[in-house]
């Protein structure tokens, strides 16, 4: 094993300090839906994540000035719609245009879910209905921590065994990734399994 | 264009309701670093995201019981270290073992950054130093919204032009993705460019 000292040297030589840039990658690209003045609207968002499974929590960060934000604040609800690669032109377009000036609902058919104010985009294979739990304001940012109250998946991507649903692998869902190099990316190969890929190493350490 | 009515039917037929599962994909896999009782520790985390660029914000959600969480709460700081595919056995192992029982620092060399309490994993090509801004408690979850105060990138993955650093594409960084099918995935091909892939569609709509 390399000595700590050597590593410190190696780091100082090899790392470039680039300033406070949140280069956490990859960024998942989703469409956040809300009812704004009674009309569904969708914003392209990368500032979002799962925060936990039980309870089922997500976070979405929106700019206060965005059209969608007004709907989320008014209704306390939104949807997260996971698009596929084939929707990329529309998804990017929804990041360029504002719902203030364009009727996005005319381009992306949606249906109401169980939760008022969370329109579900039909063409996205996965839709989450989310109820706002808290709002944190940081400058122009409105950060919504929300409970997922219901999830819908295109039946082509679900199999059910013993009443337990399984969702298809990412290699079939084809979600869109993004990074701060301004590039969109697809998903590559499956490379491992949770709590399996490191099991041999963990066993060796536990026995050491 | 399909009628809204047709779409409503189509959705009702084709979507399966699977209960409140936060199936937001893909999930980025990172190592969250903290000093716990004066010793660096790292946890494998997927519950994390960029929340904004200016200010540079991130979020990390940790279980209150995790060893790393104690360090983050005590110091108000943590690091986000983006691993590469080749580190998968170690990354998965760090999700199996707890720092309470095992000295993870002995397996992953790190150096201190500018911020006390945010150890930087040398082998990860990207390291963010993060200062906690707020903590939101949801049951056993501790959700940390944090400012990124400094970012370090392996010099092999940075080019600088006119004093502006550019980070290499994801196809070179090889970050690890995860999904709730319990699979790890690699990054695929670059499929588009932000504010370009949808520009033709946006121009058509703006002119309509």
Tens digits of per-residue pLDDT, A148-181? 999 999 999 999 888 889 999 999 999 999 999 9
> From the CA of B174, how many Å to the nearest CA of chain A?
9
Which of helix, strand or coil describes residue B172? helix
> From the CA of A76, how many Å to the nearest CA of chain B?
17
CB-based contacts of B195, cutoff 8 Å, min separation 6: A92, A95, A96, A182
Secondary structure element (H or E) that encloses residue B71, with its range: helix B67-75
pLDDT beyond 60 at B3: no
Record: contact A20-B147, CB cut-off 8 A = yes
| Residues of chain B above pLDDT 90, percent | 87
Chain B residue numbers touching A205 (CB-CB < 8 A): 93, 97, 102, 107
Question: Of B14, B53, B148, which is closest to A155 when you measure between CB atoms?
Answer: B14
Token pair in block for residue B195: 């504010």
Nearest chain B residue (CA) to A17? B152
Record: contact B167-A52, CB cut-off 8 A = no
CB A176 within 8 A of CB A29: yes
Q: Biggest alpha carbon distance in chain A?
A: 64
Q: Per residue in B70-80, is it b (16+ CB within 10 Å) or e — as a string?
A: bbbbebbbbbb
Residue B184, domain member (yes or no): yes
Question: Of B12, B128, B155, which is closest to A22 when you measure between CB atoms?
Answer: B128
Residue A52, domain member (yes or no): yes
The complex's ipTM?
Answer: 0.93
Record: contact B11-A120, CB cut-off 8 A = yes
CA–CA separation, B28 and A192 (whole Å): 14
Nearest chain B residue (CA) to A177? B26
Q: Structural domain of residue B42, as residue ranges?
A: 29-188
Question: Of A53, A61, A158, which is closest to B18 when you measure between CB atoms?
Answer: A158
The pLDDT of residue B206 = 84
Residue B65, domain member (yes or no): yes
Record: contact B189-A191, CB cut-off 8 A = no
Q: What is the DSSP string of chain A?
A: ---HHHHHHHHHHHEEE--S----SPEE-EEEEEEETTEEEEEEE-SEEEEETTTTEEEEEEETTSHHHHHHHHHSEEEEEE--GGGHHHHHHHHHS-TTTS-GGGTS-EE--SSTT-PEETTSSEEEEEEEEEEEEETTEEEEEEEEEEEEEEGGGEEEETTEEEEPPHHHH---EE-TTSEEEEEEEEEEETTTTTHHHHHHHHH-
CA–CA separation, A12 and A70 (whole Å): 46
Tens digits of per-residue pLDDT, B108-157? 999 999 999 999 999 999 999 999 999 999 999 999 999 999 999 999 99
Chain A residue numbers touching B176 (CB-CB < 8 A): 191
Residue B94 is part of a domain; what is its CATH number? 2.30.110.10
The pLDDT of residue A163 = 84
Residue A166, domain member (yes or no): yes
> From the CA of B43, how many Å to the nearest CA of chain A?
13
Residue A4, domain member (yes or no): no
pLDDT beyond 60 at B178: yes
Nearest chain B residue (CA) to A141? B52
CA–CA separation, A194 and A51 (whole Å): 17
pLDDT beyond 50 at A13: no
Residue B137, domain member (yes or no): yes
> From the CA of B121, how many Å to the nearest CA of chain A?
9
Tens digits of per-residue pLDDT, A104-150? 999 999 999 999 999 999 999 999 999 999 999 999 999 999 999 99
Nearest to B43 by CA among B91, B112, B83, B77: B91
Residue A196, domain member (yes or no): no
Total structural domains in chain B? Answer: 1
> From the CA of A131, how many Å to the nearest CA of chain B?
11
The pLDDT of residue A11 = 46
Residue B76, domain member (yes or no): yes
Tens digits of per-residue pLDDT, A51-78? 999 999 999 999 999 999 999 999 999 9
How many residue contacts between A and B have a Cβ separation below 8 Å?
416
Nearest chain B residue (CA) to A133? B138
How sure is the predictor about B208, in pLDDT bands with cuts at 50, 70 and 90? low
């Amino acid at each position: 094993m390399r000595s700590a000292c050597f590593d410190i040297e190696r780091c100082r030589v090899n790392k470039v300090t680039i300033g406070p840039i949140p280069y956490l990658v990859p960024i998942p690209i989703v469409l956040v839906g809300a009812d704004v003045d009674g009309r569904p609207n969708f914003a392209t968002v990368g500032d979002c994540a799962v925060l936990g499974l039980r309870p089922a929590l997500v976070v979405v960060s929106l700019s206060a000035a965005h059209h969608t934000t007004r709907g989320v604040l008014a209704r306390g609800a939104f949807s997260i719609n996971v698009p596929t690669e084939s929707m990329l032109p529309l998804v990017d377009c929804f990041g360029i245009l504002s719902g203030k000036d364009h009727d996005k609902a005319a381009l992306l058919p949606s249906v109401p879910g169980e939760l008022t104010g969370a329109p579900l985009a039909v063409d996205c294979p996965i839709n989450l209905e989310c109820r706002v739990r808290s709002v944190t304001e940081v400058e122009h940012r409105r950060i919504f921590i929300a409970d997922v109250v219901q999830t819908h998946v295109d039946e082509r991507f679900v199999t059910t065994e013993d009443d337990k649903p399984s969702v298809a692998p990412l290699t079939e869902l084809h979600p869109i990734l993004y990074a701060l190099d301004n590039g969109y990316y697809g998903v590559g190969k499956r490379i491992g399994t949770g709590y399996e890929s490191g099991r041999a190493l963990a066993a060796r350490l536990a026995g050491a």
